[in-house]
Amino acid sequence: MWVRFHSDESIEYSGFQIFYKFLINRDTRRLAVDECWNIMQGQIEGDIDSSAVGNKQRQFAMNHSLPHECAWDIRVLRGYRVNLHLTDIEMETDSCERNMIQIYDGITSNVGLRKQQCSGGAGVVIQSNTNRLFIRFYLHPAASNSSFRASFAMFRTAPAN
C-alpha cells in the first residue's frame, strides 16, 4: 500500500485519518512469475539493467495487459555513498504513465526522489547522500520494450578539514 498526502499552505484542520481493510485479491490475472526485486548489498561496484525483467515476465504482463515493475535496492558499507551512472536509457514513450525510472536516495519516499526519467537518454549520474540508493523501473504493457543500463560504485567523500 502506498499513501501520499499533499496539503496546501493553509492550515485549516489538524490532519487526517485513514481507515483501511486488506481484502483477498481474487483476480487471477496478477503476475504469477517471480517478483522482480533485487537487493545488492556489500558490493563495491556492479551493473544493473532491465534484463532483470525477464521475457517470461514481460510476456505475461503483455498477455494480461498488466503493468510490471522491477526494483533494485543498492546498499554499500556505512560511511560510503553510491555513485550511479545511467549509461543507456531507451523508453518507448515519453510518458511517465507508460514507462519510467525513479531513483530514490535511501528509501522510497517523495522526499528521497532524486530523479525520474520518462524519456530516453544517457549519461545521467546520481550520487547518493547515504549508503543506499533505490531504483524503480516501471513498464506498462504498451511500453514493454523500454530498457536501461546502469553501473554503480561505492565511494567515500574526503573528510572535512
CA distance 47 to 33: 23
pTM of the model: 0.72
Cβ atoms of 81 and 128 closer than 8 Å: yes
Tell me the domains of the chain and their CATH numbers: 58-155 (2.60.120.290)
Tens-place pLDDT, residues 13-34: 777 777 777 666 554 444 444 5
DSSP annotation of 145: T
Residues 6+ apart with CB under 8 A from 42: 75, 76, 77
Cβ atoms of 52 and 147 closer than 8 Å: no
Tens-place pLDDT, residues 88-135: 888 887 888 888 899 999 876 667 889 888 888 878 899 999 999 999
Q: Which three cell numbers stand for residue 154?
A: 561505492
CA distance 82 to 133: 7
CA distance 22 to 86: 37
| Helix/strand/coil for 149 | strand
